Structures are given as C-alpha cells and as structure tokens.
Amino acid sequence: MLLRMSTLFVRTLREDPADAEVASHRLLVRAGYIRRAAPGIYTWLPLGLRVLAKVEAVVREEMTAAGAQEVHFPALLPKEPYEATGRWSEYGPNIFRLKDRKGGDYLLAPTHEEMFTLLVKDLYSSYKDLPLTLFQVQTKYRDEARPRAGLMRGREFVMKDAYSFDVDDAGLEVSYQAQRDAYERIFTRLGLEYVICAATSGAMGGSRSEEFLAPMAIGEDTFVRSAGGYAANVEAVTTVVPDDVPYDDAPQAHVEDTPGTPTIDSLVAHANVAFPRPDRAWTAADTLKNVVVALVQPSGERELLVVGLPGDREVDMKRLEAAVAPAEVETAGDADFAAHPELVRGYIGPSVLGPNGPEGSVRYLLDPRVVSGTRWITGADETGRHVVDLVAGRDFTADGTVEAAEVRAGDEAPDGSGPLELARGIEIGHIFALGRKYAAALGLTVLDQNGKAQVVTMGSYGVGVTRVLAALAEVNHDDKGLAWPANVAPAHVHVVATGKDEAVFAAAESIAETLSSRGIEVLYDDRPKVSPGVKFADAELLGVPLVVVVGRGLAEGVVEVRPRVGGTAEQVAVAEAADRVAELVDELV
Amino acid sequence: MLLRMSTLFVRTLREDPADAEVASHRLLVRAGYIRRAAPGIYTWLPLGLRVLAKVEAVVREEMTAAGAQEVHFPALLPKEPYEATGRWSEYGPNIFRLKDRKGGDYLLAPTHEEMFTLLVKDLYSSYKDLPLTLFQVQTKYRDEARPRAGLMRGREFVMKDAYSFDVDDAGLEVSYQAQRDAYERIFTRLGLEYVICAATSGAMGGSRSEEFLAPMAIGEDTFVRSAGGYAANVEAVTTVVPDDVPYDDAPQAHVEDTPGTPTIDSLVAHANVAFPRPDRAWTAADTLKNVVVALVQPSGERELLVVGLPGDREVDMKRLEAAVAPAEVETAGDADFAAHPELVRGYIGPSVLGPNGPEGSVRYLLDPRVVSGTRWITGADETGRHVVDLVAGRDFTADGTVEAAEVRAGDEAPDGSGPLELARGIEIGHIFALGRKYAAALGLTVLDQNGKAQVVTMGSYGVGVTRVLAALAEVNHDDKGLAWPANVAPAHVHVVATGKDEAVFAAAESIAETLSSRGIEVLYDDRPKVSPGVKFADAELLGVPLVVVVGRGLAEGVVEVRPRVGGTAEQVAVAEAADRVAELVDELV
C-alpha cells in the first residue's frame, strides 16, 4: 500500500481545536484523523479509518480465536424488547429515542442484550446447542449529558459487544473466562496497558462484572489498587467493616449547646474542650454527618434519603449513584427542607430519621463503618445543639447501610491485600456475568437432558473500539504529535522527499514503490512545493513509526532512517534502504 | 477457514416466512442468513455477514482502484446542513428524525451530500486540491412507507456512497465516468446483469443521472430499452414530440350532446356515428382526457393540477411524481371538486383551465403529444356534452407540458433507436452529476488559477450494498435454495459427512482440514445425528457452490464432488479429493 501525501485527503492543523481538552483529541484532529460532525459525533478521515480498521481487526481475530461467532444487529430497534427488560425506562435520557412514520417507538441501541437474547431464543431450543458466544462490531449510540475528550466519550461510537449463552453457572464461568482471556490478548497485542478492576454492574444488571481500565491521568474513572493485587473501580470498592464495639460502659447520650461550631473541625475542637473523652481525643471520624440527597427513579418518582457517615469523609456521588442505580442522585434543595421541617440544616441527627423517627420519616442509610457500639457526636435536630455519646445500635439504627463514602488512599483493600492507592483510568472494556436477568425477562429457555426447560444464563462483554483508539493515541504521543504502535499505525513507513531535486523525488519514489511491493504500508510525502520543515513537522504529527528521509544525503548515496520516537537516526546506503527498512518494520510489527 | 455446522450459529427453516413475497427474502431467511428485527430492519447472522463482507470488499476494491479515498461519516447528524440545502423538508416523512436530550434536531442520514460538501469545504481551498473523490461504506436509514421484499427495500441498510469534487464541468465528466466505469466493473465481478438507464434525479437534484438496474421480474422499477441501445427508467423517458399540425383547414369547434358515453370507448363510438371525421375514424387517441390531481409540497401546501393527455393513455403516477418532485401527488377528492365547481367530473375541458380560464383557474399541463394543430374531442364543462374539433394552439393553450402519460411497449425511443420494450428491474446503483447545487448552498468554493473563488461541481454515486446482496440471491437460486456465485458465497465448498461410520467423519474431517489449510473456505457438515436427507437439503438451501459428499462411496475409496447447480457429480478418489476440489474452486472464483 502506497499513500501519497500529494493526493491523500488530509490537512494537518497547526492550531489546537478550541474544544479539545486532552492530547488524543487535539492530535487526532490536528493530524487529520477525525473531524467533529456534532457534539460527541465524529467523521473518520482516511488515516483515522485505517487505524480504526486495524484495531477492529485485532478485536475480530481474538474474538474468533476465542470461539465467538460474528453477527450484526441493527442500530435502529423497536422499543418492545427494551421495555420487557425495563431498560427502556432505566436508560432515562441517556438513549436516543425516535418515532417512525407510523408512530412506533424506536431507539438507537446503546447495547444489544435484549436482541441477542431474542435471536438465540428464536433459533435455539436445546442444551445441546450451548455453549454459544456471539459478537458484533457495531455502531452504538448514547445521548451522553456531557460528551467529552473527543472519541473518549462520544455519542456515536464503535463497540465490539459479545454475548455468551450457557445452560448453567459453571458454563457461564467458562465462557466469561474465555472472553476475559481474549480481552487480555487484545489489549496486550495493542500494547495498551490495562488493569482489570472489580466493577459494579449498573443498569446492565448481573452478578459479577469487571472493567478493563487503561491507566492514564486524563481518565474519568477512578480506581484503586493494592500492592497485593486487588483492583477495583472506586464504585465497586467495599468498605472493610470493623467489629462491633461493646457499649456496656458507654456513657448515656447527652445534648449539649455547641455555639460557634459551623464546621466539623470547630465542632471537634469544641468537644475536646467542653466534653472531653476520657480515653482519647475526639476526632472528625467520631462525628456522624448526615447528608440529605434526593433519589430520582427512572419513573420520575423522587424520594429523599439521608446518608450517615463519619465526618472525616465526604459522600462520593458516583459511589452513591452506583449503589442506588438505576435511580439518579440530586442534591436536596430548599423545597425539600421546607417539606421536612424536622431536618434542621447543619444539625440533622439520627433521631428524626428512618426507624428512629415517626412513621414516614426520611429513609436513612449508614456508612458500613457505623457499626453497633460506635459512639458519635452528631446533630441534635436543633440549631446550635449537638448530641454527644450517641451509640449506634443502642440509641439509633437505620434502614440499612450504603457504600457511599469516598475511598481514600491508605484505606485497606477489602481482600486484606494491603492499603489502597488511587489512580485514574479510562474504561476500554467491561465484562459482565449477567446471569439469568435477560433470559428470564425475555423467555429464553432450553430443554435440558431431562427435557425440562431451563432459563439460560448469559454474559455480556464489551470493548469500546473507538475509545481504545483514543486511548492508544493518548498513551502514544509526545509534544510533537502522535506516535502509533506499528500494528495500528495508518502506515508502517513515512517516506519524506525533501528539497526540489528531481533525483531526490525519483529515489524516494523508488524506495516507496519497492517497500510497497514488499507488502509494507507506505505513506510517501511527494508534495513538490512543501518545505522540509513542514514535511518533518507533519511526519511527527501523523505519527507513522518509521521515517525515511530522502534529501541532501542522496548526493553521498545515503538516506536517513529514523524511528518516530526513541532510537537514533541511521544513514543507510540508498541501495540498502528498502532492505533495512523492511528489517526494522519486521522488528516493530 | 473452516466452519462446522455442529457449532455454526444457523438454523435452517423448512417453512417460508409468512411475510416473504420474493425468493431472495424467503431463502435468505430460511437458510439462516438474516432475521427480521423490525419492519425493513434485519439482523445479519454469520453466513449472511460473510456474504455481505465479500460484496463490500468488491465495492471497496473497485472504489480504491478508481482513485476514491475511503472515509466514514456518522449516521446521526444535526439538522442544519440538511436545512441549508432544503432537503430537511424535502424528504418529508421519508427520513427518521429525532431530538437529543437538549432538544437539538437530528436525523438518521439517508445520504450524505451535505456532510461531504462541508468536509471538503473544511479542509480544501484551492483548485490544486481537486479533483477529489471520497467514498464510504456505511449504514443508511430511510423511513420507507412500505418496506418490502426483505433486504430489497429496507429501512436500515448498507450503502456505498461516493462523492466527486471538481473545479469545472469537464472535470466532473471525468470523475462521473470513472465512477460509472467502476460500477460496471463491480457488477461484472459480482456476476450481476445490469442495465444502465437514464434516470431522473428526484430529491437529489443535479443535471444528469443514470441508474444501474438489475433486470428481474420482481423489480419495482419499470424501465424501457430499445434494440438500438437506449435504456431509461420509465420516469426518465421523454416523449417523442410530433411536429405541429397545420390547422388552417380545421373545422370550427362545436359543442355536441353526447348522451350515454360514460367511457372513452363509448364516446369514440358515438363520435364516429354522430359527427364522423371525413379523413379517418376518431380513435381514443383523439380524445383529450383531463385528469385532476393535487400536489402536496414538502411545506404542506396543497394545489390542484389538471393533466391533459390523449384518452388512450393513463397518467403514470410515478412519472408524474418524478416530474413534479419534490411535491407528492394525491388524487383529488370530493372537497376539491366542491371547491372548484367549474370542474365538471367526466366533462372537464380546457376552457376552464389554466390560461384559458379566468384568473385563478386550476393549473393545466399537457402531455407533449398535444402539439399545436392537433384536433380533439374533449369535455364541454357540462354534464352530457363534449366539444369536438377543439384545436390545440387555436382554441386552447396550457401552462406547460408534463411527462406524466404512461410509457407503452412499442413507443419510439427518444433517441430514434427504435421501439421500446418494457422490463422490470431493481435499482442497484445510481450515479448523479449533481453540478453546483450542494456546493452553492453550503458555500464550497476553491480559488482558481487567477485567485478567483469558483463554486465546486460535484457528483454523487451510490451502490445499494445490501440490495446488491438481495439481487444476487434473487438471480442465483432455484426451487431448492440459494446458489451463490463463488466470489460472494459464504464458503467455497460444503463438505457433507453422511451416515454414522466414524471412518466417514474422519475422512471428511481430513478433507475439510486439508482444503482449509490451502486457503479454501470450507463449510463442513459434521453433525453426528442428522440424516443425509436433511444434510443434502441444507446444502441445497445454503447454496455453497461446490458440494463434497463423503459417505458410502468411501468403502470404494471415493467421494462425490458436485456443483450446487449445473454440471454433474464426479466420483473422485479420496486421496485426490482435495486436489480436484481446489482445481474446481480455482475455476469458479
């Protein structure tokens, strides 16, 4: 393959696009790989499409090697299957909905669990037909509230989604593991570092899920990991629950005036002076903060909730949302407090909440650290007053616990593998052991050995193909431009002819043709009236891994061969240039 | 490649799907190539997807060979560009429209002229950048009023669309011809008979367009052709206009009572008795029939129109719609006649129409055959009365002419190449010399040699990839099933192991593996408990071009090799089977 810059449909830009916050977005636009068509919706130009096709090819090969069979579903789908599983409403405003000319409701599918389930139901009926894993590489749609970072979070994007069908849990485990292994091979082949994190299942449902995150500072997901090998999306981290504390010797709770304590720090300082603990000083972790939020169900129903947690931690809204999904979380407003005069801002205590209050009290969930016997300073439901030595399990209870407190570096991993560190990454893959949710909702059963109908158990497995490309750009760039790994680069070699000498262009053309005839993919900068400086800058921006410069050295019979990043430039005799480049390409690919 | 029937995701059906009218639809569903997801929206199963990929590959190769560069646009697009060209409203209910969460208007693109125009405007600015031809293979959407015939007329389908950009008309002609040639190569390679027909441009606009039709009885397009090489879509046929007739000697028009003449035949019979022509008998072609219709503009505006044409021809609604596009045509109803009492049903004459009537009269267009000097019998605008010897040009005129009369076998070709015959076909490609419509509307100009801005001239070129696949299925089947040409078949060879003998399965497996290792694509029916009859029926239904049967002959050391259609079965020694099959595949591909 030989692409000539003189005719290639590309224009590089010297300026960053105004809306680009991250390097991959900036550089993919500047290098002419993509153009924005609408918010979160991009057009692929020839070079970008070549990279996308290579990423897709790796994904397809590994899916096929893992025994998955390729199919292709429509993007435009009727409402009914998604209504049967509840997702039509659960997705809320996050999906694109439309009506056809007859008034029928349709959606642009964000993912295809329902359709795969119905297809297998349509064709298969016996346990002998299973296991089965199907996949597609397909365009998906999500009406993101905040499309961002170019291809990282778009509204139209390419996904590989696979679905496994098994007759029992052991089969699902095997299918799940096969996909998990395939994902490891895919990202390894692409040279993309990944961390497999325990994750929450969100709107997808199911018993178990893991995310493949590519660690990078611009990632929008926070995850944790321990030296001992634990890794989890921050939404999925479970708190290490301390043992209950005996409270036989605890003093009785007492209400105190606490003037001039607008903050937790000032409250703690006041407490240590005015009503000191005999055993140790009060800390912020001894205060019980009660945070009021509103949950909005997909149906639109809105309900207040109070989360009680140690005063040294904040509520992490993403963890809370994951815990209460599919409900969304809003902050409580003036109208909410007006409707609930028992909630005294800044002084909310457990006694008016959940089971402690009268019937119809606001629902109350506690951080798992608030175990029986712990002693707290908390609001006394009157402005300017707190209650001290309020003991959990003795003086108050709740409607349950909730994983909503922020996770902090140094927290213990739930599996005992040591303290956690926090990092950021972007989700490039997500695998779900769905179980029987979709099959049950849509009636997918097969007859077992005994002729008895069994609900099929499923998994679903996604790779964000478009996002993988963006992640590759993000981790393979420098301040001059992109620097693709050879196996996804739009070409292997970028041949640059410099100057005006016809002999230079003839030699460059010959090298380009020779390489192309050997099956090496060549981008040849044959533009006659473009300066060497512009050509070199373009080569650095475009990011093809090997650059061959044919220029002044030709008078001495040499051309320069240099890698886009790392390594050093070599002067190679013209006659040996093709051989040497072929050798280097072999090493790279 | 080796696909095993024991695990392949396919189920063949013995029954035709209830909604399938045409063979390709019936067989593609029965053979497990596609499944219906919604009206006009289909899911591709593994075998169907393989065929689709092969058709796409041929299209891509020929586009690339013709110098077109591949890009990829979103399907979900904002309204604005389509509003700038007027197509947002012109498409009426034929496109899918939706709103995003912020209330922005979007559409699912039926074709991408606007976006390509804007992209080129975005990147290019000089005549030196042109010529340029871009293409994509992409999923398109049309909200068809009547999706039908399976993949033939769907609502979500794959199209190859290409767009050329030139600085002048001569350049457009070259680009147009290059695409036209590429289309000929594509359909020739696919073995799909085609006729290139002059066509109307419809909502697309532009100066010239040609359709590639695959002739077949189930086609929904009627086209004409002459022995001398003329071919046109029936909408595009222009009438051979007769010379004007001198009318100095024509008698004066006279109004006559014409009782009991409810039909044109009875009117003609009555005329020949009551007021015979001296030179020859009156015929139906001497009556002037005035047909009332209503035009509905995309804006919703509704206007009556009367079409005057010889009484021996009917109005062809598709021709009329093509002539008045983008307006749609409705039949006139009681309310229309009530609003226009001058239109006396069955007796409408020219005198109340268009320029002949008072100001505000209903618009009147004539068939081109109604030239000056022709003499007519037509309505006298009173029930039971007709006017005779009414001479065009002397006694009445019109607001213009319209190509709305039916085309009949035996009509003369407009280029003088002989009488026309009518045939049916389906549109598999359409090429348009668009000219400057889109570039002007969207401001795509380039600077010419003199530094002066020139509006770019464009062409657009579509292949209905999904429909090509359906057409291939339609013309390559028999009563037993599909019979694919080898270069698009899902596999080259279908190896069938029959019986229960383990030696048979071992030999079949070995042949399948050997062929696969040679790069031949093999579908192997390795199902252990399926009868030979079912396996043979499946092989005939699936339509792989070569069938190898390993069965009872194995005891004598032979297997049977037979083509799916035509030719005869050969008995081949087991040891030579792979060689012989490879030889036959080479001949076929």
pLDDT (tens place) for every residue of chain B, 589 residues total: 999 999 999 999 998 988 888 999 999 999 999 999 999 999 999 999 999 999 999 999 999 999 999 999 999 999 999 999 989 988 889 999 999 999 999 999 999 999 999 999 999 999 999 999 999 999 999 999 888 888 999 999 999 999 999 999 999 999 999 999 999 999 999 999 999 999 876 655 667 899 999 999 999 889 999 999 999 999 999 999 999 999 998 999 999 999 999 899 999 999 999 999 889 999 999 999 999 999 998 888 999 999 999 999 999 999 999 999 889 999 999 999 999 999 999 999 999 999 999 999 999 999 999 999 999 999 999 999 999 999 999 999 999 999 999 999 999 999 999 999 999 999 999 999 999 999 999 999 999 999 999 999 999 999 999 999 999 999 999 999 999 999 999 999 999 999 999 999 999 999 999 999 999 999 999 999 999 999 999 999 999 999 999 999 999 999 999 999 988 999 999 999 999 999 999 999 8
Question: Is A565 inside a domain boundary?
Answer: yes
Average pLDDT over residues A551-559: 94
Question: Is B537 inside a domain boundary?
Answer: yes
Same domain, B345 and B462: no
* CATH number, domain with residue A510: 3.40.50.800
Residue B92 confidence (pLDDT): 87
CB of A45 less than 8 A from some CB of B: yes
Name the closest residue on chain B to residue A1, using Cα atoms.
B64
* CATH number, domain with residue A102: 3.30.930.10
Range with the poorest average pLDDT among A58-62, A86-90, A579-583: A86-90
Distance separating alpha carbons of residues A377 and A389, to the nearest angstrom:
6
From B354, B373, B401, give the residue that closes a domain: B401
Residue A325 confidence (pLDDT): 86
Distance separating alpha carbons of residues B550 and B536, to the nearest angstrom:
12
Domain that holds residue A274: 254-391
Same domain, A326 and A436: no
Tokens standing for residue B519: 């790069």
Residue A204 confidence (pLDDT): 56
CB of B418 less than 8 A from some CB of A: no
Minimal CA separation from B450 to chain A, in Å = 19
The DSSP symbol for B7 reads T
Residue A271 confidence (pLDDT): 94
Average pLDDT over residues A326-337: 92
Longest dimension (CA), chain A: 97
Cβ contact B32:B96 at 8 Å: no
User: A393-402 as b/e, with b when 16 or more CB fall inside 10 Å?
Assistant: ebbbbbbebb
Angle at B558 between CA B556 and CA B564, to 5 degrees: 140
Question: Which residues partner with B42 through β-bridges?
Answer: B36
Cβ contact B553:B559 at 8 Å: yes
Residue A18 confidence (pLDDT): 86
Cβ-proximal residues to B507 (8 Å cutoff; 6+ apart), any chain? B497, B550, B554, B559, B574
Quote ipTM for the complex.
0.89
Tokens standing for residue A438: 């979709």
CB contact under 8 A, A145 and B8: no
Beta carbons within 10 angstroms of residue B501's beta carbon: 15
Same domain, B445 and B514: no
Residue A92 confidence (pLDDT): 87
Residues in chain A with CB shorter than 8 Å from the CB of B42 are: 74
Same domain, A185 and A301: no
- In the A/B pair of chains, how many CB contacts fall below 8 A? 129
Residues in chain A with CB shorter than 8 Å from the CB of B69 are: 8-9, 46
Residue with tokens 């031809």: B133
Tell which residue, B436, B563, B452, has the closest CA to residue B444. B436
Same domain, B385 and B301: yes
CB of A100 less than 8 A from some CB of B: yes
Same domain, B42 and B167: yes
CB of B500 less than 8 A from some CB of A: no
Same domain, B260 and B325: yes
Cβ contact A573:A544 at 8 Å: no
The minimal CB distance from A93 to the residues B35, B78, B101 is found for B101
CB of A11 less than 8 A from some CB of B: yes
The minimal CB distance from A78 to the residues B32, B38, B97 is found for B38
From A391, A412, A438, give the residue that closes a domain: A391
Per-residue pLDDT tens digits for A7-47? 999 999 998 988 888 999 999 999 999 999 999 999 999 99
Same domain, B267 and B397: yes
Cβ-proximal residues to B228 (8 Å cutoff; 6+ apart), any chain? B413, B415, B416, B417, B418
Distance separating alpha carbons of residues B75 and A155, to the nearest angstrom:
11
How confident is residue A199, by pLDDT bands cut at 50, 70 and 90? Answer: confident
Residue A8 confidence (pLDDT): 97
CB of B65 less than 8 A from some CB of A: no
**Touching A: B residues 139-178, CB under 8 Å:** 139, 141, 143, 145, 155-156
Question: Is A562 inside a domain boundary?
Answer: yes
Residue B148 confidence (pLDDT): 86
Same domain, A462 and A537: no
* CATH number, domain with residue B345: 3.90.960.10
CB contact under 8 A, A9 and B123: yes
Question: Is B1 inside a domain boundary?
Answer: no
Query: What kind and span of H or E run contains A387?
Result: strand A385-391
Instruction: To the nearest 10°, report the CA torsion of A349, A352, A353, A356.
Output: 110
Same domain, B562 and B451: no
CB contact under 8 A, B122 and A37: no
| Residue ranges in B447-558 assigned as alpha helix (H) | 465-475, 502-517, 532-542
Question: Is A497 inside a domain boundary?
Answer: yes
Tokens standing for residue B364: 């009147």
- Phi, psi (5° rounding) for residue A114? -60, -45
Residue A21 confidence (pLDDT): 87
Same domain, B56 and B195: yes
Residue B298 confidence (pLDDT): 82
Residues in chain A with CB shorter than 8 Å from the CB of B72 are: 43-44, 49, 52
Residue A19 confidence (pLDDT): 84
Sheet of B96-99: strands edge to edge? A76-78, A105-108, A96-99, B96-99, B105-108, B76-78
Query: What kind and span of H or E run contains A268?
Result: helix A264-274
Minimal CA separation from A59 to chain B, in Å = 16
CB contact under 8 A, A11 and B123: yes
The domain total for chain B is 3
3-state helix, strand, coil in chain B (%, to 5): 30, 30, 40
pLDDT at A205 exceeding the cut of 80:
no
Residues in chain A with CB shorter than 8 Å from the CB of B38 are: 74, 76-78, 106
Question: Is A407 inside a domain boundary?
Answer: no
Distance separating alpha carbons of residues B345 and B334, to the nearest angstrom:
10
Same domain, A226 and A277: no
pLDDT at A308 exceeding the cut of 70:
yes
Task: Share the mean pLDDT of chain A.
Answer: 95
Question: Is B386 inside a domain boundary?
Answer: yes
**Touching B: A residues 245-264, CB under 8 Å:** none
Distances (CA, A) of A521 to A58, B60, B182: 17, 18, 24
Residue B208 confidence (pLDDT): 84
Question: Is A403 inside a domain boundary?
Answer: no
Minimal CA separation from A350 to chain B, in Å = 39
Cβ contact B295:B302 at 8 Å: yes
Residue B90 confidence (pLDDT): 87
